[in-house]
Amino acid sequence: MAESSPETVFDVIGEDGLTRLVRGFYEHVPGDEILGPMYPPSDLAAAERRLREFLIYRFGGPDRYIVERGPPRLRVRHAPFVIHQAARDRWFQLMNASLDSAGFAPEIVAALRAFFAETATFLINSDG
């Protein structure tokens, strides 16, 4: 093969890295005054798994998320939740804190951070 495909985030940090990242995020969800009430307390482990599998798929790993959940359609899936600017900012803040403590290389942090910032803004669905 003349060219190799570019390395993906998944190639570098693997399932282990994305698992740690999502774990670090969810650790702070239940106690958060904005996000805590939005997530199902009895099903938090399953919610954590959905985000983890989505990111594994999205950043170049196995596509189990698609097999299990179908097309991501994130705007539709977030429609049941009121996502205003403050909720968006808090989500991003918790994810950023987890990114900061994950120990990834700077270019990996930058790629993930840009994706999270953009996607979180895209999911705002309320002025309130």
Which amino acid is located at 32 in the chain?
Answer: D
**What does residue 18 show for φ and ψ, rounded to 5 degrees?**
-70, -35
C-alpha 123, offset from chain centre? 12
By CB under 6 A, tell whether 25 contacts ligand HEM: no
Among 38, 66, 102, 111, indicate the residue that binds ligand HEM (CB under 6 A).
38
Among 28, 64, 78, 113, binds ligand HEM (CB under 6 A): 78
Of 14, 5, 6, nearest to 104 by C-alpha is 14
Mask for 86-125, x = binds ligand HEM (CB under 6 A): -xx--x------------------------x--xx--x--
Q: Counting contacts by CB under 6 A, is residue 59 touching ligand HEM? A: no
Residue carrying the six token digits 């650790």: 27
Q: Which two tokens stand for residue 10?
A: 């998944």
In which region does residue 103 sit, left (phi positive, over 0), alpha (psi from -120 to 50) or beta (all else)?
left
- Cβ distance to ligand HEM smaller for residue 111 or 123: 123
Nearest distance in Å: CB 59, ligand HEM? 10
- Encoding tokens for residue 27? 């650790």
Q: Which CB, 12 or 78, lies closer to ligand HEM? A: 78
Binding-site size for ligand HEM (CB under 6 A) equals 22
